[in-house]
Structure 1
Amino acid sequence: MSRVALVTGGTRGIGAAVCRALKDAGYTVAANYAGNDEAAAAFTRETGIATFKWDVSDFNACKAGVAEVAAKLGPVDVLVNNAGITRDGMLHKMSPEQWYAVINTNLNSVFNMCRQVIEGMRDRNFGRIVTISSINGQKGQMGQTNYSAAKAGEIGFTKALAQENARKGITVNAICPGYIGTEMVRAMPQDVLDKHVLPLIPVGRLGEPEEIARCVVFLVADEAAFITGSTLTANGGQYMA
């Protein structure tokens, strides 16, 4: 029986690429999503990957959602925390709603999801947790105090959880993408990309979602069992940590 992998924010962008790559690698994949039913249905039709709807910022919703995944597919062996949002703004103009929306969806969700699967992973002496952080959690970004704080928090969470579970066969790692050619990034005006984004990237191009997906497949493999508490940067040389 193949291992079960659950990917939050799994029906679009990087998450969708991760789901496809994990399926191709032989995992039984569950894709969580928050609200776009049409996109989720299209994703399932295209890939055959089951989708499950819940809000990762809600602890009880995560508890019920993970239980549903386990009942239908089996216990979760691999968790990829990918769900995230932005609510950008300079701090002196940022509303509490902007702050808490990002912290709850991007950072608190990592606790909400890991808490649902960690006991089972410990009981089975196996688990793989990968959290998709960001280059902006490493270097900060003007207009993104909320996002940068959440993404930096994910890195600290990763290091602590890795230490707690290293002797139980569980690895916990983070990936920090740079600018990736998702629908959101490619929606930027081409002149903005050409003048203000690409010159910052030494390799001279955007990353592809599939490149991040390959990082995930590597980290969750049996062969990566000696890698835990690590932060894998995938940013084309934009920030060398």
Structure 2
Amino acid sequence: MSPKLGAVWRFAPGWSLFGGYARGFRAPPYNDVNIGFTNVQFGYTAIANPDLRPETSDGLEAGLRYGSRVLFAELTGYYNRYDDFIESMAVVGFDPVRQLLVFQSRNVAEATIYGAEARAGLDLGALSGALQGWSLRGAAAWSRGDNETEDVPLDGVEPPTASLGIAFQREAWGAELAARFVGRRDRLPSASDPQPGAEPVRAFESPGYVVLDLYAHWRFAPGVRLDAGLFNLGDRKYFYAGDVPLVAADSVQLDRYTAAGRNLALSVAVEW
């Protein structure tokens, strides 16, 4: 049973308060239970965990929303408490024979994740006819996770992020230039150390970054849409926090975890 209860109070034109409670359930993901993969070049191995238990949670959410012909804005706060939290691909040790870092999904008996999110959009065309089709969009998110059982941070929680974009839209096509802002990933447990009894090794904290992306779409036939994205326009070297495992800050392999440089993606969607 996963009940959910929500409520909305529209207390003034365009303004509303909302909140809710939800009971969550998540079965162990297939890959977490069955994975078996070794990458000698990158120095790690991922092993299965057939004993993973389902994850349950209790979540609270509350927020404030405003909407009009010109502006939309929303601010939300949330708090989630988990039992048997599934921490995917956590560092669980070091294989001294093969010299490989060992990853395995595991259950954390008690964990909490809480944070806040904000988003807004401004229709510039509603302010002036000369700006018809132009709009501004922005969003920001901050979250914090704690392993209550071991009294350490959850390393899978993303650092603070934000985005800001300016878009132009016509009936058949549109484009957007967007900036992504990501903070430093600085709430980490210690990296695993291969020597039993040794001092904890300080984990690498992926630095913050700002990158620019360019998006475009074109409906060139009924039900057919072409999407294109040119990412990391400045060809910056950066680390996407979700792709960086717990590795030592002085590791010689850090460059192997960098994100892609300037890259292009194309896709076609067909609807009927």
Task: Please indicate the TM-score interval, normalised by the length of the shorter structure.
Answer: 0.3 to 0.5
Higher relative contact order (CA 8 A, sep 6+): 1
Point out the structure with the larger helix share: 1
TM-score normalized with structure 2 length:
0.30
User: Which has more radius of gyration?
Assistant: 2
Point out the structure with the larger strand share: 2
TM-score normalized with structure 1 length:
0.32
